Amino acid sequence: MAVPARFREQVTGVCGNRLVLTYNAFDNDSLWLYPEHVWETVRDQVMGLSSFNPGHRALQRRLVGSAAPVEPDASCRLQIPQTLRQVAGLEKRVTLMGLGSKFEIWNEEILNKSRFEQPMDEPTDEISQLVI
């Protein structure tokens, strides 16, 4: 996947090409891409949740257990691991969305369908306090 030109300076300058890719904690159809220094904060907060809570364990496995470091090549392209591509349904047309301190990577068709169909649920107190 090629990083769009409008995001290249952020990827190369702000995070020095050091990124971490993982599953989206809330949507099965997308991935999250973090600058490494932001990811470390998220990882520490997620791992700080009680592992005695089944929901927390599931979140820890999904985010931390599946995280993969990635670096853009000289042409600012990212190689997304096969397992992450399959779960997110990434095929030919992929969308990279900048969302504050992270990016979301979506199959373009799935994103367009889900953008207006998904209701907004209230997060739990513990999760809403995370820097996800």
Q: What CATH number is given to the structural domain containing 67?
A: 3.40.1550.20
> Are residues 33 and 97 in contact, defined by beta-carbon separation less than 8 angstroms?
no
Distance from C-alpha of 131 to C-alpha of 25, rounded to nearest angstrom: 12
Q: How far apart are CA 124 and CA 129, in angstroms?
A: 9
Q: Which amino acid, one-letter code, is at 54?
A: P
Q: Is the pLDDT of residue 50 over 80?
A: yes
Structural domain range at position 78: 5-114+122-128
How many domains are there within the chain?
1
Could you report the per-residue pLDDT of 64-92, keeping only the tens digit for each?
Answer: 999 999 998 888 888 898 888 888 888 88
**How many CB atoms lie under 10 A from the CB of residue 39?**
24
What is the predicted pLDDT for the residue at 32? Answer: 94
**pTM for this entry:** 0.81
